[in-house]
Structure 1
Amino acid sequence: MRRRGLSVRWRLALSYAALVTVVEAMLLTVVAAFLLRYVPEGDLVLLDIGGTTAFAPDRSDLLRAFAPAAALTGLAAFALGLLGGWLLAGRVLRPLTAIGTAARRAAAGSLSHRIALTGPHDELREVADTFDTMLARVEQSVEGYRRFAADASHELRTPLATTRAVLDVAAADPDADVAQVLAQLGAANARAVAVTEALLLIARTDAAPVGRDAVDLSLVLEDAVETLAGTADARGTTIHLDSRPAVVPGDETLLHHLATNLLQNAVVHNTATGGWVRASTHRTDGAAHLTVENTGPVLTSDEVAALTAPFRRGAGRTQGADHAGAGLGLAIARSIVRAHAGALTLTPRGDGGLVVEATLPGAAGTPADDRPTA
């Protein structure tokens, strides 16, 4: 076991005391050198007018008298320097003590503790603020993975139980329809894969900072419309596109997921026939907006507020065989928008359907567009 040395506070205090002592010794040396040079060596006899004589101290006498006083002064300076250094070091190192306490609590599993250091914005304040930011990021990452584990274990139970039931039934029935069994297993597997991929995307978005490339939301939305054009035609849903340049700093892959999920949610959760979707992008007041509006069942404000929670769907919202959804589309959208320092707003339409608007900080140096007319 390594022997622990002097603490930083003691080392600083000793350094302060040594510095004060050296400065004091230099001053005394200068005084002695410049004053005693004018005092001669040897017996000094003083004669006055009355003929009386007296002896005065020479240089050696003054040195003998000066040395003890200088030594005591040096000891006093060292003691005062040590005391002052101890107090000053304690004050200077107080933020480091707070940082060390927070680090020990974090190592013990308490990630919610923050230093919240006050005072001047010096180097130690910067270190403390950086440490608080790191703790917040670590806490968010850990919470994301915990939520991923809980959501995955909860949601994957259904397709796994379905797979087991299908296999048990097929094993008990020698005349079972193999094609039907495979179709049921494929559907259960597709749902499990969709849930896993969606949860992994949410966990990755919450855990790591996104990129900061210049991405035009209008191009991303156009790609999403092309991807979902076939699904919309099959459902009899018309997509109206109004894409205007809206450049944002972000991750192109995640923003493509955002546009695709919002558009897919609008197409899938629509009216049975004759439905429509309006998708648009524009930029105004330094912010970029991606808006998706669709027809559909009437939703209350409470139902809309719960739609961004994982595995939640509004009342009456259905999905078809072509969409193995997991109720995570809007949860993914919220996570992506939050990772880009934006806001996701959901507003129910009076005659049914939903308006979803993602507002993201726009890239600097790009012109602003007017809001598109309805």
Structure 2
Amino acid sequence: MSVRLKLTASYAGFLVVAGVLLIAVVWVFLLRYVPDRAGTVVELGPPADGNRPGLFVPGRSDLWRAFAPKAALALGFLLVFGLVGGWLLSSRMLAPLDRITRATRTAATGSLTHRIHLPGRRDEFRELADAFDAMLEKLEAHVAEERRFAANASHELRTPLAITQALLDVARDDPDRDVGVLLDRLRTVNTRAIGLTEALLLLSRAGQGSFARERVDLSLLAEDAAETLLPLAEKRGTTLETSGDVTWAVGSQALLLQLTTNLVHNAVVHNLPEGGSVHVTTTADHGSAVLVVENTGERLAPGLVATLAEPFQRGTERVHGDQAGVGLGLAIVQSIARAHGGTLTLSPRVDGGLRVVVRLPGAPAAEDR
């Protein structure tokens, strides 16, 4: 049975049951006070015309024989009325559900641009339709992002493979070419391809959110990342400083260390050629763990900053050599932050450079647990 038919049968059944209950009430509370047999009531006192007419009083069986057919007709009418009215009422009640069903089938064919836009007052069906529209909107954006990511990833992976193919073709056509130089260039290209692949795997792992969670001190992670990248900062003439109190967060220590390292590395690499600086700060703010990384550099337009967290987006073209990134640093940071229930905020500094704020769910300190 369909839902519409079930609702129709339910409406009709409720009406018939209500009628039966009404008849039962009449029988229990009214007819039981009527005598079983019929009788005649004779008036007292001298009759006016010499006759003593009697008043006929029907018995319980007489009343029931007169009442039962009419009650049966009423129950039949209630049954028919319940079926017809229930069918019409259920059709009107389920009309929004039919509209949602058609939208679902349209989305199943791959058309994610369709929206329900259910009119009327806000009820359960309206909330369901609005939630479905919001889901379609997010799904459409996710699919578009995945397609763009796949296209960019294919392009980025194709580049080192094309370079390797070109180097091998040159070596085959020129047997006298220095093998050592060729091997060095092949090693550089291969290292970059491996780094890109590892970054893609890390991005996929962070997006799935399948990792163990524990209490992590962001201040220690910031110090570890700064210590690891200090040689690179000194080589580039960049001052690297960390500060802040003990800041507890909840999440994966390995992923949060990768997040911090990516931010500090990005801040060191995308900086002034000489005399730049990077400041890393950790604070606890109203139940949240906040990591702030600021660096000097060129002035960035707000429109450019808004796209830096997208995969394979690079802020500038000034980074060359071994430190050239693959355009996944901030994308990985954003994916890790989202997987931990946090947020990533990018904003340009007035004097140039970038300010990155990562806000994660905080954890109580050891003495507060």
> Structure 1-normalised TM-score?
0.78
User: What is the rounded CA distance, in whole Å, between the counterparts of 2:206 and 2:133 in structure 1?
Assistant: 20
SS of 2:177 mapped into structure 1? coil
1:152 deviation in Å?
1.0
Counterpart code for 2:23: L
- Does the CA-based 8 Å contact 2:343-2:359 persist in structure 1? yes
SS of 1:313 mapped into structure 2? coil
List per-residue Cα deviations over 1:168-197 (Å, max 9, x = no partner): 112222333333333222222222233333
Counterpart code for 2:256: L
1:11 deviation in Å?
0.8
* Counterpart residue number, 2:325: 325
SS of 1:270 mapped into structure 2? coil
Closer/same/farther in 2, CA of residues 153 and 58 from structure 1, 3 Å limit:
same
* Counterpart residue number, 1:360: 359
* Counterpart residue number, 1:160: 161
User: What is the rounded CA distance, in whole Å, between the counterparts of 1:20 and 1:103 in structure 2?
Assistant: 35
1:106-117, aligned counterparts within 5 Å? 106-111=107-112
1:304 deviation in Å?
4.4
Closer/same/farther in 2, CA of residues 138 and 127 from structure 1, 3 Å limit:
same
Structure 1, 261-270 or 335-344: larger mean CA deviation: 335-344
Counterpart code for 2:247: A
Closer/same/farther in 2, CA of residues 315 and 149 from structure 1, 3 Å limit:
closer
SS of 1:156 mapped into structure 2? helix
* Counterpart residue number, 2:173: 172
List per-residue Cα deviations over 1:179-222 (Å, max 9, x = no partner): 33332222222222333333444455456588765433212212
User: What is the rounded CA distance, in whole Å, between the counterparts of 2:5 and 2:149 in structure 1?
Assistant: 48
* Counterpart residue number, 2:14: 19
1:248 deviation in Å?
3.5
User: What is the rounded CA distance, in whole Å, between the counterparts of 1:9 and 1:160 in structure 2?
Assistant: 60
1:19 deviation in Å?
2.1
1:138-287, aligned counterparts within 5 Å? 138-139=139-140, 141-206=142-207, 213-284=214-285, 286-287=287-288
User: What is the rounded CA distance, in whole Å, between the counterparts of 2:349 and 2:310 in structure 1?
Assistant: 16
SS of 1:110 mapped into structure 2? coil
Counterpart code for 1:268: V
User: What is the rounded CA distance, in whole Å, between the counterparts of 1:153 and 1:298 in structure 2?
Assistant: 31
Counterpart code for 2:20: A
1:358 deviation in Å?
1.1
SS of 1:326 mapped into structure 2? coil
Counterpart code for 1:185: L
- Does the CA-based 8 Å contact 1:289-1:357 persist in structure 2? no
SS of 1:175 mapped into structure 2? coil
Unaligned runs of 5+ in 2: none
Unaligned runs of 5+ in 1: 1-5, 368-374
Q: CA-atom RMSD, angstroms? A: 3.7
- Does the CA-based 8 Å contact 2:115-2:133 persist in structure 1? yes
- Does the CA-based 8 Å contact 2:39-2:59 persist in structure 1? yes
Counterpart code for 2:353: L
- Does the CA-based 8 Å contact 1:291-1:356 persist in structure 2? yes
Closer/same/farther in 2, CA of residues 314 and 129 from structure 1, 3 Å limit:
closer
- Does the CA-based 8 Å contact 1:301-1:348 persist in structure 2? no
* Counterpart residue number, 1:370: none
List per-residue Cα deviations over 1:131-176 (Å, max 9, x = no partner): 5665566445434432321111222222121111112112222333
SS of 2:278 mapped into structure 1? strand
SS of 1:63 mapped into structure 2? helix
SS of 1:245 mapped into structure 2? coil
